């Protein structure tokens, strides 16, 4: 979950290299960690060629990842752009990417990166350290309207990128930072020769919008966008200048073409897969769909991959921006901690896991699920299901049933009622929202559920125009120091009250301080201790409520080989250059 540095919590709706002396990353002439390997569901060797079709749940809003925190933009960036280093989403290891090696200074704050030799952009223009320096300038330009800039800061200060020569860049951190270069997994490198003019003109945030002709988009990823048909599909073809090869020397990517079919409805998405019209789904498999997929798996038509417990549990939260409620008669109780604690007590998590997920989910009490084994704390405050406890907490803030109807009211007669926004088309979220509504009805709270298209929901969130939201965001890295945009009160992914100038509450100020300490610490044990304390303070104040984390399953056509599944999204396409299809 970040933006100071990021979760990337990526509202996409939405590890450490430190040493004493110099640490030199090996020059990888051997295969990269997570390099092409046989799929765990088939022993068919990957071969070059073919076309793969994936579903996509929403339209792109931009192709400029620095300027847009959107799930489709992030996926585009994974397919068509590249970073200096990347985090392997299956192993969580840091890997060299455009940079083939680096040295770390004795204090762990400076990194000298050597770029791979002979790289070119997808239009054939040579790549150099000047492109790296340009990307850093764009990320930090205050006039550019960049959403990723704050995610690349440490203690509120930017990193400094200095060109040493055409293949060497020195990146200096303003302070100690435990994850080290993992931070740069958040930064796709962009072409200076295509975007420098927009940066100079102050139009960088509008550059590469969804109306940009694909021929104007340039990257260093495995694919290039060949065609975008709004409402229909995005068609990617192989980048002929992609730098990576398989261990046997085969030039990657394996695929000739990758098509993202826009299918907003989750049922239609599943039908595409079952009928063979799609090879993979953007969504994971819902619990109720497992029964229909397993026979196809036994027939050899589909493969079903169990990924583990999700690191991204769905989240419910109220708008805690004080000005929003200033003239609302509910302002005296709707933003109180007791209100949120009562709601947490009123929801039967076990029943939710059974009714919506058919038992394929586990109860959770905070934003860090058991799927994040390194950072999960089992000792966070819990609110066991108890309608009696919920009623007492509601009464403590003046909410009682004062008339003949079924709803609670405050002393002025204002009903305990609110509107919950959620995604339209995500049937699991819609069912969960209905379950929460019915649970809260039992304690006299009326909930009006309104389902919106994903982009519209994000717009309402960013504007602060909502009472409550139930939705999903994505974590791009499991390390909490890379989710500071969520934890810090100043962060743009601090969903209940984004981008505060100063902490609005003492407990947010406490989490801010713990977050900074945790990010700066270099000792892993100390970082874990501090993060456990962050989770405790969060759990006591419940600014956002979490109920269950699903067990994740991904499905793919049996013709797809060499998959590298991960619990982080996109679970399959994050390693699209190594995916192949049977001839």
Q: What stretches in the chain show pLDDT beneath 50?
A: 1-41
Side-chain-side CA neighbours of 224 within 13 Å: the count stands at 18
The beta strands (E) that lie in 239-291 are given as 257-262
In this structure, the number of other CB atoms found within 10 A of the CB of residue 506 comes to: 10
pLDDT at 549: 96
Beta bridge partners, 434, equal none
> Residue 410: which of 476, 495, 492, 339 has the closest Cα?
339
Angle, helix 524-541 to helix 337-346, in steps of 10 degrees: 90
Dihedral angle of Cα 275, 280, 282, 284, to the nearest 10 degrees: 90
| Rg from Cα positions in the chain | 24
Gap between the Cα atoms of 257 and 272, Å rounded: 18
pLDDT at 13: 40
pLDDT at 42: 52
Domains and CATH numbers, the chain: 315-550 (3.10.105.10)
**Residue 67 phi, psi dihedral angles, 5° rounding:** -105, -5
Gap between the Cα atoms of 384 and 398, Å rounded: 22
Gap between the Cα atoms of 218 and 18, Å rounded: 33
Q: How far is CA 440 from CA 404, 405, 407, 437, 549, in A?
A: 18, 15, 10, 5, 20
For 316-343, letters b (16+ CB in 10 Å) and e give: bbbbbbeebbeeeebeebbbbebbbbbb
- CA 400 vs. chain centroid, Å, equals 40
pLDDT at 24: 26
pLDDT at 150: 73
- CA 490 vs. chain centroid, Å, equals 18
Beta bridge partners, 160, equal 172
- CA 308 vs. chain centroid, Å, equals 17
> Residue 151: which of 484, 462, 475 has the closest Cα?
484
pLDDT at 508: 98
pLDDT at 1: 37
């Amino acid at each position: 979950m970040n933006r100071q540095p990021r979760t990337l919590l990526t509202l996409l709706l939405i590890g450490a290299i430190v040493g004493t002396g110099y640490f030199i990353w090996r020059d990888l002439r051997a295969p990269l960690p997570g390099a092409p390997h046989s799929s765990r569901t088939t022993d068919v060797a990957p071969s070059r060629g073919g076309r793969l079709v994936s579903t996509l749940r929403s339209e792109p809003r931009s192709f400029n990842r620095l300027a847009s925190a959107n799930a489709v933009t992030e996926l585009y960036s994974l397919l068509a752009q590249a970073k200096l280093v990347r985090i392997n989403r299956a192993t969580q290891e840091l890997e060299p990417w455009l940079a083939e090696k680096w040295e770390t200074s004795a204090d762990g704050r400076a990194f000298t990166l050597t770029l791979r030799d002979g790289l070119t952009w997808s239009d054939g223009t040579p790549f150099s350290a000047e492109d790296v320096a340009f990307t850093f300038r764009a990320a930090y330009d205050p006039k550019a309207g960049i959403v990723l800039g704050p995610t690349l800061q440490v203690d509120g200060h930017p990193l400094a990128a200095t060109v040493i020569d055409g293949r060497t860049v020195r990146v200096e951190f303003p302070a100690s930072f435990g994850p080290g270069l993992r931070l740069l997994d958040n930064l796709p490198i962009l072409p200076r020769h295509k975007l420098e003019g927009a940066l100079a003109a102050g139009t960088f945030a509008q550059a590469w919008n969804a109306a940009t002709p694909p021929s104007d988009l340039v990257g260093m990823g495995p694919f290039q966008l060949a065609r975008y048909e709004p409402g229909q599909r995005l068609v990617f073809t192989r980048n002929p200048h992609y730098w990576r090869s398989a261990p046997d020397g085969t030039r990657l990517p394996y695929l000739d073409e990758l098509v993202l079919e826009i299918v907003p409805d989750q049922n239609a998405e599943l039908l595409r897969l079952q009928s063979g019209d799609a090879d993979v789904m953007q969504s994971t498999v819902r619990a109720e769909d497992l029964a229909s997929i397993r026979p196809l798996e036994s027939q050899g038509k589909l493969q079903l991959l169990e990924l583990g417990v999700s690191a991204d549990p769905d989240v419910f939260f109220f708008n805690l921006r004080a000005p929003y409620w200033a003239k609302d008669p509910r302002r005296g109780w709707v933003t109180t901690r007791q209100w949120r604690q009562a709601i947490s007590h009123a929801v039967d998590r076990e029943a939710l896991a059974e009714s919506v997920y058919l038992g394929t989910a586990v109860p959770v009490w905070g934003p860090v699920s058991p799927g994040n084994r390194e950072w999960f704390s089992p000792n966070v405050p819990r609110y066991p299901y108890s309608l009696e406890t919920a009623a007492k907490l509601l009464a403590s803030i003046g909410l009682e049933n004062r008339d003949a109807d079924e709803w609670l009211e405050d002393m002025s007669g204002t009903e305990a009622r609110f509107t919950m926004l959620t995604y339209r088309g995500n049937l699991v979220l819609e069912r969960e929202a209905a379950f929460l509504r019915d649970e809260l009805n039992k304690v006299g709270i009326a909930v009006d559920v309104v389902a919106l298209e994903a982009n519209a929901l994000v717009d309402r969130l960013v504007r602060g125009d909502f009472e409550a939201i139930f939705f999903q965001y994505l974590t791009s890295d499991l390390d909490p120091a890379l989710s500071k945009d969520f934890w810090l009160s100043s962060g743009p992914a601090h969903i209940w009250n984004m981008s505060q100038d100063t902490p609005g509450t003492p407990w947010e100020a406490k989490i801010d301080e713990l977050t900074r300490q945790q990010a700066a610490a270099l000792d892993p044990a100390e970082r874990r201790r501090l993060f456990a304390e962050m989770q405790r303070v969060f759990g006591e104040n419940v600014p956002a409520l979490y109920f269950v984390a699903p067990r994740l399953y991904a499905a793919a056509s049996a013709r797809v080989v060499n998959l590298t599944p991960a619990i982080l999204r996109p679970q399959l396409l994050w390693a699209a250059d190594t995916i192949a299809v049977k001839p």
